[in-house]
Chains A and B, each alone.
Chain A
Amino acid sequence: MRKLWIRLLLLALAAVYLIPFLFLVTSSLAPEGTALERPLSLPGSPRWSNYAEALEKLGAFDEESPLRGFLRLLFNTTLLTLLSILFQLITCSMAGYAFARLRFRGKGLLFVVVLATLMLPMPVTVIPQFVLYRELGWIDTFLPLLAPCLLGGSPFFIFLFRQFFLTIPRDLVEAARLDGCGWTGVFLRVFVPLSTPVAAAVAIFTFLSVWNEIWLPLIYLSSPEKGTLTLALAGFSRSYRVNIELLMAASTVALLPCLLVYAVFQRKFLQGIQLSAGKG
């Protein structure tokens, strides 16, 4: 009886959560200027060409072939995302291991510093960073977006890795040590192979945040062919002469890869979080 009650409540809530998506999809398929007329109902004849037009708008900077322009944005975003994931995994797993399993002086204090940077508001550092990258000649390259992933990494991911590594049994470490592994050897041979769940969680988190990032590309990328999808979408939305149907189609396009990645990897993702956060 209680089960049914819960299920109904959940379904009702789920319906509420779905409404905005329904808005998104139905209006992205409506003929120009009609999205407002009958929201939430699929237009009689869905206008799929909205999507083709939206792609062309996003890639419009490429005069010869807007489609190539769009693919360029897609490529840039994918490249940035993959490199960011790689860098985050390297930096954060190393730091997480050190904090979880090695003894060194000042460890407690340094870990507090990591946790403290978790709450550091990004506007505090943005201006000096901007001046620094300018002096390095890095503006309008991907470097200002990638450097923070390799240098520093995300404190949250370091925390996730540490929590996960704490759960790996001591015996395993001892055995590897007896076999003659050094500390880095233990990390590479024992911890890295075991860390798939947490690595997957970090990878998905990074994917979502880099794919959707607006602040950094906004400031650092200026050549159109170096832009990202989200940046182009934001530009499209601020453009004065835009029609809502194309904008909704473009938003859907930008959302699809996230949905896809999430759908495929979500089990790993949930596993990773549970493994890490489960141990307060």
Chain B
Amino acid sequence: MRRLAALLLLVVTLTSGAPAVATELRIMVFDPTSLPEAWSKLNDLARRFEAAHPGVTVKLLTEGGGVDPLTKLRILLAAGQPLDIAILDVLELSSFLEDGLLLDLDPWLENDPAWNEDDYFPVILDAFRGQDGHLYGLPSTFTPYVFYVNETLLAEVGLEKPGPGWTWDDLVAMARRCTRTTERGRVWGLSITQWLQALAPWIWQNGGSLLDPERGVATADSEDTIGAIHFLTRLFHDEKLAATDATFQSQLTRGEFQDGNVAFYGPVGYWEVYRFKEIRDFAWDVCPLPRGKEAATSIALRSYVGMARTEHPELTAEFLRILAGEEMSRTLARIGNGVPGHIAAARSEDFLKPHVPPESEQVFLDAVEYARFLPVHASWREIEHLVQKELQDCLVLGKIDAETACRSIQRKVNAFLQREREERERPLASLLLTVGGPLLAAALLLAGFLLLRGRRPSLLARSEERAAHALLILWGAGFLILTLGPMLVSLALSLTVYTSTTPLASARWAGLDNYARLLSDEDFWQALRVTTTFTLLSVPLSLALALLLSLLLHRGSTVLRTLFHVPSIMSLVALGILFRWILGTDPVEGFLGRKWIEAEEWIVPGFVLMSLWTVGGPMLVFLAGLQGIDPVLYEAARLDGASRVRQLVHVTLPQLGPVILFNLIMGVINAFQTFAQPYVMTGGGPGNASLFYVLYLYKTAFRFQDMGYACTLGWVLLGLLLLLTLVLLGRARGRVHYEGEAP
């Protein structure tokens, strides 16, 4: 009887647990702040979809929030959040396919009468086919890379916008004519963009390539590839025809082209039209890239994808078809988001926009003929990050020549590909290690503490101890569950290779290899160097400033006190935004001779300067310390005839000893964890000149999903800070005196 009841109960729970809730489609495709018009259209489509499918609700999520959309998507998926539709860059396709995250659309589209393959450019549609030939995404917008030209500047030197078939030699000749100093200032022939997708066309045009996906090796050291990079260094450094303003970070700021100082800007995609539509001072248009040995350009493409985990594949596929349909495509074309993959929309006036610059939208459509995608590879983002430093050192800074850069890229990329292959072959690490080990260790620590804490107290003291236990329970539980436990798990994970989109059980055993990897990881040493330099400059300077301010403000007005503390209550995000802008202004540029963001040796000093603005915290602690000094001491000093300076040296500073030590240690710890400022302001650039330690760790963990190595980095940081603190405490022993202690 009882068993029957239990069985009944089970059945009831199981059935009630089945999705009796209304069907919900969750979609994350556009950010409302960056594309408000598309957001409205999306809402419109969603409401109409709901009306056509009673019982279905469509929920729109935003990409926003500081992370790049892809990191956000990765975090959502890693978190196991329900999600049905997202937008995906073609560069990410193979990595998502490899992780089995995408929905195969073929079975659902076949039965959808409104679906027609021929509505789309075949090259663009095929880009989202897997190796099985099935379709995993429907195109949103794409863009081939082209040049933007300032027609007014060309006309000034008697030139005209080049047409199809123009060559590298034509480019050099025209750039030479345009590069000169006018009464407005320096005018450049070129401004050349420098991320991987933008550099690839030069390499392809010269007959080179970056890597051979078939054999899984880099081909960056081939003669043709080196030749292409060499051609660019010639433009930048030998002939000085190219401005160096078009690094990836500076896309966020106003560039030389917008200011009318550059004749040709690119290779770059359609998205710049949106920015450049504000231009009033000169006439501009687009033109195809010049050809080298052959014609070539890259394509950027974003497609709508369904998630394999969706519970409603049919609805998902149908809504995808609507998203990629003519109506949405025309909206995107109208607002200048890119070239629609939908042919009818691309040929409509919504895209071609007669009488609105650029006049030659057709250039984008023509370029599709010879445009290529980067070779399909799972880890483009890692590779891009790896080679970024070499490219910037070579092109922006001119520190190394093309051949050195290419050989270094070749070596790094091959080492990366090799490591990736090896990681796949590593054995799985069992949960016993990653969870069991830490649990056991925590239990041992707890048991050790309980055993070693001394003898059972007397009856009276026992009630006091019980009260203490009750009062400490919240702290203790939190310490065990949220601090000690995670620390130990993190230690275990630092011995593995682990990607967070997968369950913990899929971590692979790596032993001490992650720690060995540190030794040869140039970025790790660079991050350490940047962070140490920053700490060595920023901590002593801010402490000295804080001390000076507190001495001046002691017994001074609270108004001033507030004023000096206010910058410290501002969020680091807002502060970063503000300083990115201040350090990017003309007077700073005039002083440095170039933009702060490009001046490698001024990057860290810039952050130090910013840190001097936020000394409010230590200042308050110093003020509190000053308040605590017994006035009798000063009295005595004065009676002894000590001057103010001597009072400062012999009374104030020794008395402040513990406070100085506290501020020093906390200052070092905080400086080592600098994250928000470089994240908002530079993203680590130029090169890796502002790659702060925690920023590198964040990128490793959440961008590259290399969680195991990120845990290694975390533990190394912990070890370093521990060591530093002990050293500081050790040095302070005997020098810092505490109140009530015999000197």
- A residues apposed to B, CB below 8 Å: 6, 9-10, 13-14, 17-18, 20-21, 23-24, 27, 33, 36, 39, 57-58, 60-61, 63, 90-92, 94-95, 97-98, 102-107, 109-110, 113-114, 117-134, 139-140, 147-148, 150-153, 158, 182-184, 187, 208, 211-212, 214-215, 217-224, 227, 230-242, 244, 247-248, 251, 254-255, 258-259, 262-263, 266-267, 270, 273-274, 276-280
Contacts and interface: CB of A to CB of B under 8 A. Distances in A.
Contact of B36 (A60, A127, A240, A270): A60
- Interface residues of chain A: helix, strand, loop or mixed (majority): helix
A270 B552 contact: no
A182 B78 contact: no
B357 interface: no
Contacts of B549: 13
A219 B676 contact: no
A118 to B, nearest CB: 8
A258 B570 CA distance: 7
B33, B563, B571, B627: most-surrounded residue (chain A CB, <10 A): B33
Contacts of A119: 665-666, 669, 721-722, 725
Contact of B500 (A104, A130, A153, A223): A130
Interface in B549-576: 549, 552-553, 556, 558, 560-567, 569-574, 576
B562 A262 contact: yes
A255 B81 contact: no
B467 A124 contact: no
B712 to A, nearest CB: 11
Nearest to A110: B472
B676 A214 contact: yes
B545 to A, nearest CB: 9
Contacts of B577: 233, 237, 247-248, 251
Interface stretch (B95-103, B146-154, B418-426, B474-482): B474-482
A100 to B, nearest CB: 11
- Interface residues of chain B: helix, strand, loop or mixed (majority): helix
A95 B482 contact: no
Given A254-B574, A266-B558, A140 B627 contact: no
Contact of B66 (A23, A114, A231): A231
A122, A224, A227: most-surrounded residue (chain B CB, <10 A): A224
Please name the 7 residue pairs, one residue from A and one from B, whose CB atoms are nearest each other, closest first: A152-B478, A235-B64, A234-B66, A151-B478, A212-B571, A183-B467, A278-B628
B481 A36 contact: no
Interface of B: 31-36, 39-40, 43, 60-68, 72, 75-76, 78-81, 251-252, 254, 271, 274-275, 278, 449, 453-454, 457, 461, 463-465, 467-472, 474-475, 477-479, 481-483, 485-487, 489-490, 493, 500, 504, 549, 552-553, 556, 558, 560-567, 569-574, 576-579, 581-582, 585-586, 613, 620-621, 623-625, 627-628, 658-659, 665-666, 669, 672-673, 675-676, 680, 694, 697-698, 701-702, 707, 710-711, 713-715, 717-718, 721-722, 725, 738-739
Contacts of A242: 33-34
A232 B64 contact: yes
Contacts of A21: 566-567
A152 B477 CA distance: 7
Contacts of B569: 208, 212, 258-259, 262
A118 B623 CA distance: 22
Given A121-B694, A240-B252, A224 B61 contact: yes
Given A61-B32, A151-B481, A234-B66, A120 B718 contact: yes
A122 B673 contact: yes
B453 A120 contact: no
Nearest to A114: B475
A237 B620 contact: no
Given A119-B665, A121-B717, A128 B34 contact: no
18 contacts: A63-B39, A117-B479, A117-B483, A127-B701, A131-B489, A134-B78, A139-B80, A150-B474, A151-B478, A152-B483, A208-B569, A212-B572, A219-B75, A223-B61, A227-B65, A233-B573, A239-B33, A280-B659
